[in-house]
A and B are shown apart, each in its own frame.
Chain A
Amino acid sequence: MVELADLKTVGQPNWCPGCGNFPIWHALKMAIVELNLEPHNVVIFSGIGCSSKMPHWINTYGFHGLHGRPLPIATGARLANNSLTVIVVGGDGDGYGIGVGHFIHAMRRNLDITYIVTNNQVYGLTTGQTSPTSDKGFTTKSTPTGVIEMPINPIALAIASGATYISRGFSKEMKHLTKLIVDGVRHEGFALVDVLQPCVTFNRKNTYEWFSERVYKLEETDHDVTDKQAAFMKSLEWNNRIPIGLFYKEIRPTYEDELPQIGETPLVKQRIEDIDIKSLMDEFV
């Protein structure tokens, strides 16, 4: 059995005290334990940002790559070895800003990847600028007179892009979040876990209190997670009441399912010595 101690690393997180990343970090570790995933069969990919340092502090394989690019890197690794559990962690700037193109394409692709977005609606590591999910009017160093454009709605975007597991958690609801991650990993296909993650240093608007007053659990309503239209309507709720939980789920063949080349043996296990190219050369005669 995998235990929390197995996931312990020498280094410890250096996030600000009270950072919304701590509960997400805990939830991810608890999910790995609950799923009983052996650490050497898990890879956590991340981009660049405060939360993207997370792979260093969980004792699984990890890849701390480039800003906005963890999804393509994870895609390559998953196609190379489809027996691995692939989890991606990154912030809202990483996934919904610079990496939004990859985000959309990863969802329509439906690889078996779980994507946790630590969404604090602000750029933290670069000391407080607007993010793609910042509310309209939000003032930051890069928007001193307030954000003009509308925020990205990641849930609505995921529904439109064909993701097959679309959920939202909240840092303060760690158990709830753990379950969303566990179900996301169990889900065969692309799972989005968008997490409301208060930034205690640079976002004085969307605080723990602000969220606590607004969030409610979809599980406690009669929301039907197979109803795409209902999920979309729920995704539009924001200012007064904010739903968390599973918005939408669908069973669709994964990208890997459609590749007979890796149906039996992952690429990484396929022998590459002595590949016979005679027939290929003959094609050119």
Chain B
Amino acid sequence: MENNGLSWKIGGEAGYGIMTTGFIFAKVCSRAGLHVFDHTEYPSLIRGGHNTYQVRAEVEEVYSHVKHVDLLVALNKETIDKHKEELAPGGGIIYDRDKIPLSKEDLGRDDVKLYPVPLLKLAEESGGREIMVNSVALGASVALIDFDFEMLSNVIEDIYRGKARETIEFNIRAARLGYDYVKNKGMEKDFGRKLPKVGGKKRMLLTGNDALCIGAIKAGCKFYAAYPMTPSSSILHTMASQERNFSLVVKHPEDEIAAINMVIGTGFAGVRAMTATSGGGFSLMSEALGLAAMTETPIVVAVCQRPGPSTGLPTRTEQGDLKFVLHASQGEFPRFVIAPGDVEECFYKTIEAFNLAERYQCPVILILDKYLSESHKTTEQFDVNGIKIDRGLLLSDEELEKIREFKRYEFTETGISPRTIPSQKRGIFTANGNEHDETGDLSEDKTIRTKMMDKRFKKFEQAEKEIPEPKLFGPKDADMTIIAWGSTKGPVKEAMKLLNRDGIKANFLQIIYINPFPTSTVSKIIETSKRTVIVENNKTAQLASLIREKTGKEIKHRILKYDGRQFFPTEIYQRIKEVL
């Protein structure tokens, strides 16, 4: 581990503010100009249970979490028991001596440093409540990496803005006591892991879900409806918080069925709209997905995966729903499936999703997972130059005047029919979930049926030509080509750093557009690769199976993980070394 980085982890019982504490620490590092990636692990309950928040901060850009921990903040004994093996040599533990009697012998490790801080006592001394041990621990952490206290107090002020003045002051006082305790004992000199402060432009610290929301707002999404479901819920919270700022209507309806149908009604009426959910909610949405396709109504649906089947592991991560979103709903119809792999792609691909939905008048699915939805990453402010809003073939009233008889589902060369929205005088039609003729009228005629099916699929012949090529990272001639989609991008990029260090040339094919599938490019890359390996956070290698379906090519090596946790870069690195 280089001296220019740190992996910090706080653990404790749910209900002790672990999430806020972790986020404050991450923000302090981010504002210091460091690159940050954070990662949370928590069970599906509100009080009790073991929560952790890991923050990785480095001078160079970081793309994922790591397995090792340099500084562990243990708010309870369980944290030490569970995570002591993760401590890197030379790492330290901040813990409450009064609550956890601890010696290196107990720990079974003589290569780590112990920093007993009377967390509870200092919390009480600050005049606050027991729960403020987290602020004391924050102060101690920031002191250990030798940052100025103001860096922490400023972030506390910002994060707690809107809370009672008293609460903010108690937390700052508690943090100060923790900070001073460490400094007075000279612990930071013993730890010796002073983190650098890097100047320059301030970056954002945000999750995939945050970026998706900013993208949706930029794209002109004016209506958002969703039912809470981890890990998609933060999209609902963020969109709702921006309702008045950006003149949005955000609705938390009775269920996911209502949510997607509201979105369809909104899209039909000419307003950009979105819903988001996880696999369970998407199961309920399946029927309406087909309705959007049949009525050719533009909608955007974000599916933030978590491990199934059924309720599964509600707060963990997995990529088990790829084939589900590709095939959900009865009948055959085209849909876009787009898998952003990092925070930045969540922003740009969401904007693209809205454009594609309107251009092709069909559903667009963005597929994320808990790891991408909920992990924060430092990211440059998004470049909004060059962002275009493409509303597709929306007829103006003037254009309608020139049309003798408007047919909503007119057969055209591209399969895309110009559309109107309610209130346009000459554009009257009835959208129809039944098979229909060009006007939208019910029709069971066999010729019309065949032509309508062909029309809907024809749209995708055009789309296939238009979607961007998949990204190939790394050298063209590599010993190993790694293929992955979605959030495994981060750990894969980190694993490539490790492989390069060993002199192993690896490249990485990231597939973002999963439907329509970039068949010829993927096929060519596989053909010219020395070796290929698929990395997926699921049991059955769903992308590998899709690649075989589309290209006829088998990916020989598979690195799969389906324990509800994301790959560590070292896991991918080691398993690739085994293959080579």
Contact = CB atoms under 8 A, between A and B. Distances in A.
A39 interface: yes
A99 B243 CA distance: 28
B113 interface: no
Interface in B416-447: 421-434, 439-442
B156 to A, nearest CB: 16
A66 B261 contact: yes
B428 A40 contact: yes
Contacts of B31: 285
A40 B223 contact: no
Contacts of A43: 269, 422
A76 B270 contact: no
Interface residues of B, number: 69
Contact of A64 (B243, B427, B431): B431
Interface in B195-241: 202-206, 210, 214, 217-220, 222-223, 225
B147 interface: no
B269 A277 contact: no
A278 to B, nearest CB: 8
Nearest to A105: B254
B303 interface: no
Interface stretch (A227-235, A243-251, A268-276): A268-276
Contact of A75 (B243, B262, B433): B262
A281 B217 contact: no
B271 interface: yes
B79 interface: no
Interface stretch (A54-62, A165-173, A179-187, A208-216): A54-62
A66 B433 contact: yes
Interface residues on A, range: 35 or more
B287 A55 contact: no
Query: A60, A62, A65, A78: which has the most chain B beta carbons within 10 Å?
Result: A65
A171 B225 CA distance: 37
B249 A261 contact: yes
B291 interface: yes
A29 interface: no
Contacts of B263: 76
B474 interface: no
A275 B246 contact: yes
Interface stretch (A80-88, A127-135, A189-197): A80-88
Given A56-B442, A76-B266, A281-B381, A272 B389 contact: yes
Contacts of B295: 63, 65
B432 A273 contact: no
A69 B434 CA distance: 14
B268 A63 contact: yes
* Residue among A43, A84, A262 with max Cβ neighbours from chain B (10 Å): A43
A285 B422 contact: no
Interface string B250-278: 01011101110111111111111100000
A41 interface: yes
B217 A77 contact: no
A40 B425 contact: yes
B262 A79 contact: yes
A10 interface: yes
B214 A76 contact: no
Nearest to B287: A66
Contacts of A45: 265
Contacts of B242: 280
A77 B257 contact: no
A259 B266 CA distance: 16
Interface string B474-498: 0000000000000000000000000
A284 B204 contact: yes
A45 B432 CA distance: 10
Interface in A121-166: none
B265 A72 contact: yes
A260 B271 CA distance: 17
B84 to A, nearest CB: 34
Nearest to A262: B249
Interface in A102-119: 102, 104-105
Contacts of A284: 204-206, 210
A74 interface: yes
A51 to B, nearest CB: 14
A209 B248 CA distance: 52
A76 B255 contact: no
A285 B262 contact: no
Contact of A280 (B245, B421, B422, B431): B245
Contact of B424 (A40, A63, A75, A285): A40
A267 interface: yes
A19 interface: no
Contacts of B422: 40-41, 43, 61, 77, 81, 84
B4 interface: no
A264 to B, nearest CB: 10
Interface of A: 10-11, 38-41, 43-45, 48, 53, 55-56, 59-66, 69, 72-81, 83-84, 101-102, 104-105, 259-262, 267-268, 270, 272-273, 275, 277-281, 284-285
Given A11-B441, A65-B433, 17 more contacts: A10-B441, A39-B428, A63-B430, A64-B433, A69-B288, A72-B261, A73-B265, A73-B268, A80-B223, A104-B254, A267-B223, A272-B389, A275-B246, A277-B218, A277-B382, A284-B205, A285-B381
Interface of B: 31, 202-206, 210, 214, 217-220, 222-223, 225, 242-249, 251, 253-255, 257-259, 261-273, 287-288, 291, 295, 381-382, 384, 389, 421-434, 439-442
11 contacts: A39-B428, A56-B430, A63-B430, A69-B288, A73-B265, A76-B261, A79-B262, A280-B214, A281-B214, A281-B381, A284-B204
